[in-house]
Structure 1
Amino acid sequence: MGEVCVNDGGFMITRAEAVIVQPEAKTSTNVQELQLTNLDQYFSPVVRTVFCYKRRDDDKKSMEGVGRVIREALAKVLVHFYPLAGELTVSSEGKLVVKCTNRGVPFVEAVADCDLEVLGDITIPDPAVLSRLVYMDPAAENMLQMPLLTAQVTRFKCGGFVMGMALNHCMADGISAMQFVNAWSEAARGISPTTLPYLDRSALRSRKPPIISHPHDQLLETNCISTQPSQGEVVYKLFEFDQKKLTRLKKTIMQDGTITSCTTFVALTALIWRAKCRAYNTQQQQQAKLLLVVDGRSKLKNPPLPKDYFGNVIVLTCCVCNAGDLMEKPLSHAAQLVQNTINNVDDEFIRSEIDYLEITKEKLDYSTTLLVSSWTRLAFRAMDFGWGEPTQSGCVTLPEKEVAFFFSGAGKAKTGTTVLIGLPVTAMKSFQEFIHV
């Protein structure tokens, strides 16, 4: 064993040196480069996720070989997902491109001197602790030097283990990432992949010539300035909404007849958008901006997206309104804005956004906004590497402090929706009062 890490929780993790995993066989194509789309270009943070697996009392399968099994399965699945073993570079046009060099994926095995219970609830980001469970190349000085994918398997004294993964978002959105990890877990169980990735991303390239048919305010800087009640440390909290709470919330929203139907996403987004605006004591005359992450897979019709497309198919759209109206009018006002904004996203909107990015090369402006993303469709619990489904999963950190995530399952019943959000301490105290249903 090599590197020794001590985290703030007072326990040690001992890591072995990284092993480079390459596809175990030649890939079925001679593709040397993967051209990334404009939707891939503006989502390029490294997303670090962790998945916990407890040892079951009736499990006779040894945990000693878990690292070897997962490592060998990675070599198998990389035959199909070979771009993940490549290198990120910049083309002469200034765009991100993946060189399919089979450089390989760093894989680390580690041992912790404690039980899994020490980690607590990993749904709440805790970078000081959870970052120890995900390998990051210490020699990488910038994004281009970072591997597109890394993996770490950490065994705990109780017999459980954690699988930590770092994946560059430019390679895959949440649904595509789950497609990869599920194929990986199938390989670990000796099963042929249920689905194979469609790697050609030309279906989402910009049109020639580009056609901008919609305004794309979501990509522009606005004058939305929220007065933060505290510049202190950001704290993360989970808010659970079971089916009773969700039914009550939707009934409240629809009772004045402004809208006649309301999804869970629309209802919760309206609630937290207004609550955050109130918690920050936003001035009445200011503009309140809300960014929404929308999955475009079902909305692309001309032509439809190829089945099992692997990449980013999420687009951004936004609501902007007067903060006074948002805070003082019934919640149905915010819900209607959210609903109309989502309904506006169709095939042409998505292709217009791709073309807009081609012309302007805009970078996202996250400042002074709330960005909402739903992970309710991500099948985290299907990731069985041979030792059962994960008991819990989470992110090491949120990509931006102004982001809220929705997850499936709330409370003991696990039938509702859980909201994860990070706010400054003082704002969080007020937010908790305004979000009460």
Structure 2
Amino acid sequence: MAPPWVQELHFPHLPSHYIDHMVPVMPSGPTPTAPGQSLYLSTSMMWLEPVFSLPQYIFMPQITGDRLKTLRDALASVLVPYYPLSGRLRETNNGKLEVFFGQDQGALMVEAHSEMSLSDLGDLKVPNPAWSPLIFRFPNEEPTNCGGFSLGLRICHCIVDGLGAMQFLSSWAATAKAGTLITNPKPCWDRDFFRPRDPPLVKFPHIEFMRIEDGSSLTMSLWQTKAVQKCYRISREFQAWLKTLAQPEDDMSNVTCSTFDAMAAHIWRSWVKALDVKPLNYELRLTFSVNARQKPKNPPLKEGFYGNVVCLACVKSTVRKLVYGRFPDTARLVREARLGISEEYLRSTVDYVEVDRPRRLEFGGKLTITQWTRFSIYDSADFGWGRPMYAGPIDLTPTPQVCVFSPEARLILVGQCLCVFACRNLLQKASRTFCLLQRPVNKVQLNEATTLL
């Protein structure tokens, strides 16, 4: 049985929902654009396909009054400074994306209801793939809203990143709460900041984008077995203990291992071990997103910029080193990749995308980790009715090689987080992971801690 600091969470099944109204919400005031005009969208995000969105759901307690009107009016106000979010993505003749403004577009608001209460949703502190029917999808979309009150938000990832989405959400919520437009900080579009250099100058190999023919058993193993989303509540104590184990014993650089480095290294090793990847000499990759907002120095990014400033860090290792190597060595690889994201790496990424035009991320032979723990989503989503009961992503199962570190709702204990996996049921092979952490520790503590994955 897993200890309290590593707790597996389970999910209930949900009934259907019914759509009542679909209303486009236009900016309530004048904007700098007119129908027929378009906005430049930075080249660096071309690899994020237009349909790759950031679905988030916010569940709130029972609310009185005309809540839809409050949300609609606040959204119309916020769309004045955030006017690009009322446009539409389209592809230009040269294959790039832009934001186009046509007649009466606006942001689509969908009102729906379901014959259920918030208590029917189960544990509202964790993401739940059973909530997927609550996501509105257009008729031509691939298959992948309730009592109390829930609010869903879908924004294309090539328009904003996670922090940009939080900035918009915070402004919308503050405007609804105050009854007047609030934008703090003032939103900044300025996508020209990330135009490619002329001529482009690619200084790094950018293996995060390269296609690798998966010669291992990983992909076949994943897709032959139906993906199961697993969610684990990971305590601050476990994270601190794992970080201690990951510290290098002979590193004279005085660069310490972060909690993320330790968690990412342990999950990657455990994932590969549990899936019994073969052959042992096959080289696998780990990719994870790094917030690069503070990297540009000359000039720096303007305050309020809400576009994508995400760089993908990439780590390579053979199966043998992951399974049988030292845990601090794997954590060091993660740390070096994280610290390797510089201003020049960011500029090189923009130029690489301009030259090679990758249109999607490659998932062959790798695991991808996304960190949401630093998003102020619970504070950002107070629309005047209190903090939400749950705010965050819903379902990762369509992409079984992604892991999300997500903050848990209603917790005062700083550092406690959720680890959400879309993968096979790793607990069935948990006994295989006992050898992953090899620094001498209390035997009982080791056996308990390594049942995490």
TM-score, with structure 1 as normaliser? 0.87
Deviation at 1:292, TM superposition (A): 1.6
The equivalent of 1:37 in structure 2 is: 42
1:212 to 192, 202, 206: 202
Name the counterpart of 2:119. 117
* Residues 187-196 or 201-210, more deviating: 187-196
| C-alpha RMSD over aligned residues | 2.4
Q: Deviations over 1:62-121 (max 9, x none)?
A: 524111111111111111111111111111211011113351111122222111121123
Aligned to 1:186: 174
1:203, distance to aligned residue in structure 2 (A): 0.5
Q: How far apart are 1:30 and its partner, in Å? A: 5.7
Deviation at 1:232, TM superposition (A): 1.9
**Paired residues of 1:278 and 1:431 also in contact (CA < 8 A):** no
Aligned 8 A contact 2:368 2:402 in 1:
yes
Maintained 8 Å contact 1:223/1:287: no
1:122 Cα deviation after fit: 5.4
Q: Which residue of 2 aligns with 1:54?
A: 61
Shift of 1:181: 0.7
Counterpart in the other structure of 2:400: 401
How do residues 140-289 of structure 1 correspond to structure 2 at under 5 angstroms? 140=140, 154-156=145-147, 160-189=148-177, 190-191=179-180, 192-228=182-218, 229=221, 231-254=224-247, 256-258=249-251, 261-283=256-278, 284-289=280-285
Aligned residues of 2:126 and 2:409 also touching (Cα < 8 A): no
1:226 Cα deviation from its structure 2 partner: 4.2
Deviation of 1:360 (Å): 0.8
Relative distance call for 1:225 and 1:124 in structure 2 (3 A) is farther
Quote the Cα distance in structure 2 between the aligned partners of 1:410 and 1:384: 13
Q: Which residue of 2 aligns with 1:379?
A: 376
2:110 to 94, 100, 108: 108
Instruction: Give yes or no for the alignment of 1:16 onto 2:14.
Output: no
- Is the CA contact (8 Å cut-off) linking 2:125 and 2:408 kept in structure 1? no
Measure, in 2, the Cα distance between the counterparts of 1:113 and 1:84.
32
Q: Partners in 2 of 1:431 and 1:68 — Cα distance?
A: 50
Q: Structure 1 residues 92 and 84 mapped into 2: Cα distance closer, same or farther (>3 Å)?
A: same
The letter for the 2-side match of 1:286 is: Y
Q: 3-state SS of the aligned residue for 1:396?
A: coil
Question: Could you list the per-position Cα deviations for residues 286-324 of structure 1 after superposition, in whole angstroms to 9, with x for gaps in the alignment?
Answer: 112111211110122232111111211101121111211
Aligned residue number for residue 423 of structure 1: 423
1:334 to 320, 330, 334: 330
- Secondary structure of the equivalent of 1:71? helix
Task: Assess, with a 3 A threshold, how the Cα gap between structure 1 residues 429 and 124 changes in structure 2: closer, same or farther.
Answer: farther
Structure 1 unmatched runs, 5+: 1-7, 56-61, 143-153
Write out per-residue CA displacement over residues 230-289 of structure 1, whole angstroms, 9 at most, x where no aligned residue.
622211122233221122111112263347511111010000011111111123111121
Moved more, 106-115 or 229-238: 229-238
Q: 1:300 to 1:225 in 2, by over 3 A?
A: farther
Alpha-carbon separation, structure 1, partners of 2:120 and 2:188:
40
Amino acid at match of 1:41: M
Normalising by structure 2, report the TM-score.
0.84
Contact 1:242/1:410 (CA < 8 Å) preserved in 2?
A: no
Of 334-343 and 217-226, more deviation after overlay is shown by 217-226
Shift of 1:13: 2.5
Distance in structure 1 (CA, Å) of the matches to 2:187 and 2:432: 45
| Deviation of the 1:126 alpha carbon | 4.5
1:344 is aligned to 2:340: yes
- Pick the aligned partner of 1:370 from 367, 370, 373: 367
Corresponding residue SS for 1:114: coil
Q: Counterpart in 2 of 1:150?
A: none
Q: Percent identity?
A: 29
Q: Counterpart of 1:186 in 2: which secondary structure?
A: helix
Match of 2:301 among 282, 292, 305: 305
Quote the offset at 1:338 in angstroms: 0.5
What residue is the counterpart of 1:147 in the other structure? none
Alignment of 1:83-94 (within 5 A): 83-94=84-95
Tell me the CA shift for residue 10 of structure 1: 5.7
Question: CA 1:359–1:120 in structure 2 vs 1: closer, same or farther (change >3 Å)?
Answer: same
SS in 1 for 2:54: strand
Supply the distance in 2 between the matched residues of 1:413 and 1:183 (Cα, whole angstroms).
24
Offset at residue 164 of structure 1 (A): 0.9
Question: Per the alignment, do residues 361 and 116 of structure 1 end up closer, same or farther by CA in structure 2, a change over 3 Å counting?
Answer: same
- 2:80 is aligned to 79
Distance 1:135 1:358, change over 3 A: same
Compared CA separation, residues 93 and 411, structure 1 to 2 (3 A): same
**Cα deviation 1:317-349 (Å, max 9, x = unaligned):** 211112111211111010010111111110001
* Structure 1 residues 387 and 246: alpha-carbon distance in aligned structure 2, compared to 1, 3 A threshold: same
Q: Distance in 2 between the 1:226 and 1:117 partners?
A: 44
Q: Which has the higher relative contact order, 1 or 2, with Cα contacts under 8 A spaced 6 or more apart?
A: 2
For the structure 1 residues 11 and 388, does the alpha-carbon distance in structure 2 shift closer, same or farther, using more than 3 Å as the test? Answer: same
- What displacement does 1:409 show? 4.3
Please state if 1:97 is matched with 2:79.
no
Tell me which amino acid in the other structure corresponds to 2:199. Answer: P
TM-superposed CA distance for 1:27, in Å, is 1.2
Q: 1:430 to 1:413 in 2, by over 3 A?
A: farther
Q: How many residues align?
A: 407
**Residue identity in the other structure for 2:28:** E
